[in-house]
Amino acid sequence: MVVLVVIALLASTVVLTMPDPRGRLIDDAERFAARARAAQTAAIVESRDIALWVSPAGYGFERYADGQWTAVADQPFTDRVWPEDASVAVPPSGTGRARIVFDATGLNDPLRVTLAREGEEIQVAIGADGTIDVEG
């Protein structure tokens, strides 16, 4: 009987410590925040506006050059898709996606993106002063 209890305890410990195969929601939020920081830094270094667009389906970056916005194809700025099981809330807009522009000074309009999955909620806040925080 004691052996069965010990085996049951060990099995439950293993199951509880196994990582979620979908990945952690905080990791997705931190990757998004890191890419936003990289875009902000690139805008300052290049002295050229870089836009970040965010929708419930994914996010991406655009660079302003020759009088027009074009998608950025360089890593880490390629378009990304949110995980299928995560719901993403962005401020409402007429286009279905939010968009902010990082300018050469590092300033931008504020943006708050909320990622949620199974009761867990994490927010990425991009402040008007250029601060980028992962909360939750």
CATH of residue 68: 3.55.40.10
Residue 1 in any domain: the answer is no
Residue 45 in any domain: the answer is yes
Q: What is the pLDDT of residue 56?
A: 92
Cβ neighbours around 19 below 10 Å, total: 7
Given a cut of 90, is residue 7 above it in pLDDT? no
Q: What is the pLDDT of residue 28?
A: 93
SS3 17: helix
Residue 31 in any domain: the answer is yes
SS3 106: coil
Q: What is the pLDDT of residue 92?
A: 75
Q: What is the pLDDT of residue 36?
A: 95
Residue 2 in any domain: the answer is no
69: containing domain? 23-135
Question: What is the average pLDDT score of the chain?
Answer: 85
Please state the pTM of the whole predicted model: 0.79
Residue 63 in any domain: the answer is yes
Residue 9 in any domain: the answer is no
| Tally of domains within the chain | 1
Report the alpha-carbon distance of residue 46 to residue 24 in Å, rounded: 33
Residue 129 in any domain: the answer is yes
Residue 60 in any domain: the answer is yes
Report the alpha-carbon distance of residue 126 to residue 47 in Å, rounded: 20
| Residue pLDDT, tens place only, 62-118 | 999 889 999 998 888 999 999 888 889 888 766 778 999 999 887 889 999 999 998
Given a cut of 80, is residue 14 above it in pLDDT? no
Q: Which of 131, 136, 110 is nearest to 29 (CA)?
A: 136
